[in-house]
Amino acid sequence: MASTTSKIYSYKFLLPAAVVYLIFFIVPTFLSFFFSLTIWTLSDWKFTGLDNFRIFLTEPSLNVGLRNSLVYAILTCGLKVVLGFLLAAFLSANLKTKGFLRSIIYFPNILSTIAVGIMFSSLMQPSRGLINVGLAAIGIQGPDWLGNPSLALLSVAMVDVWKGVGIAMTIFIAGIMAIPRHYYEALMIDGGSSFHKLRYITLPLSRSSMNSVIMLAFIGGIRSFDLVWVMTKGGPGFTSDLIASIIYKQLQGGFYGISTAGNVVLFVIVSLLAVPMYRFLTKAEVDL
């Protein structure tokens, strides 16, 4: 049967994929290891050893992105998981309005990041923006969401959660729907409360969707910069810069070698964090 296999499932089917994926993804990834060691003008390069990495890791305006990206990824990921799960549990119950609620929570996902960024830049305007006007109405003086250096990154992260929690919720709902009814029925007979249901059935049996949400949100969070770019440009100063926004700034400034070094740093971080995380999560899933 081996010969038939190779005849039917010929490797030729992989050829187009090889062209597209290799040339436009794999090759650049490998090239980045080389070019990160050079002063590079795109047409010309000069080897400088690890100098770019030294610059990237010692320049405060550059390495602030390392910390910020981690904070951003962990924060957005954590909130999406927690809120997404709670919303899903709530909206899996037998509610009259659940269709409406699910749709409106999911809706921001179809808007572009730029659109959402512009929208919230306006809403978060400190003196006239709707958020602070609303807060003022109940006697709270709202902060300068995007202008306060210690708040800017968090504000953007909140907007990210606003936009993305719908996806997390949807994935959780699907997971919850797949839980066989009789588990709950058994618990009801034992006299379990709603909280017990959530704690002892829904949560543990949502493990697989939980893993998906965590991986999606974490990797998305650590790689992204578009929302930050629209809302704060990494400012005030460099306080909300992310690795990806720094990579982009270096690219635009014509520092191609440094930009590529930043890419390699991001690659390493993802390999060191996301891959073990994925392993750990999937292993835990099997153990269950």
Partner 1 sequence: MKRKILRVMVEVIAVALALAIFGIPLSYVVTNAGKTSVEAAQMSIAPAAETRYIKNFSEVLATSNHMLLRAFLNSTIITVVSIAMLIGVSSMAGFVMERRKSRAISWINFLVLAGLMIPPAVVPTIWVLKSIGLYKTMLGLELIEAALAFPFSVLLYRGYLGAIPRELDEASFIDGCSGLDLFVKVIFPLMKPVSATIAIITSISVFNDFVNPLYFLPGAKNVTVQLTLYNYISQYLNKWNLLFADILLISIPPLIFFIVFNKKIVSGMVAGAVKS
Partner 2 sequence: MKRSSIALAAAMALLTVAGGFAADRQKLVWLQWANDGAQKNLDAIIAAFEAKYPIDIELEFKPGSAEGENLVKTRIAANDMPDLLSFNSGSLFQVLNLEKNFVDLSNEKLASRLVDSFKSTVSVSGKGVYGIPYQPIPAGGILYNKKVYAQLGLKVPKTWKAFIANCEKIKAAGKVAVIASYKDDWTAQLLLLADFYNVNVANPKFAQDYTANKAKYASTPAALRGFEKIQEVFTKGFTNKEPVSITYDMAQAMLASGEGAHYPMATWVLTSINQNYPDKINDIGFFALPGDSADKNGVTLWMPNNISISKTSKHIDAAKQFLDFFVSPEGLAAYMSVSTPDGAFAIKGVKLPDNVFPAVKDILVYVDANKTAPALEFLSPVKGPNLPQICVEAGLALKTPAACAVEYDRDVEKQAKQLMLPGW
Which 108-127 residues touch partner 2, going by CB under 8 A? 125-127
User: Is 266:247 a contact under the CB 8 Å cutoff?
Assistant: yes
- Chain positions 137 to 196 lying near partner 2, rule: CB under 8 A, are 144, 146-149
103 touches partner 1 by CB under 8 A: yes
134 touches partner 2 by CB under 8 A: no
* CB 252, min distance to partner 2, A: 3
Query: Distance between CA 288 and CA 284 in Å, rounded?
Result: 6
- Chain positions 254 to 273 lying near partner 2, rule: CB under 8 A, are 254-255, 258
Query: Distance between CA 77 and CA 236 in Å, rounded?
Result: 24
User: Is 154:75 a contact under the CB 8 Å cutoff?
Assistant: yes
212 touches partner 2 by CB under 8 A: no
Spatial neighbors of 218 by CB under 8 A, at least 6 apart, are 73, 74, 77, 273, 274, 277
- Count residues near partner 2 (CB under 8 A): 30
- Chain positions 196 to 215 lying near partner 1, rule: CB under 8 A, are 208-209, 212-213, 215
Spatial neighbors of 287 by CB under 8 A, at least 6 apart, are none
Instruction: Rule CB under 8 A: choose which of 47, 90, 200, 280 binds partner 1.
Output: 90
* CB 163, min distance to partner 1, A: 10
* CB 146, min distance to partner 2, A: 7
Instruction: Rule CB under 8 A: choose which of 58, 97, 141, 150 binds partner 1.
Output: 97
* CB 134, min distance to partner 2, A: 17
Q: What tokens appear for 181 in the block? A: 């009814």
Query: Distance between CA 32 and CA 53 in Å, rounded?
Result: 13
Query: Distance between CA 284 and CA 245 in Å, rounded?
Result: 34
By CB under 8 A, name the binding residues for partner 2. 39, 41-42, 46, 55, 58-61, 125-127, 144, 146-149, 233-239, 249, 252-255, 258
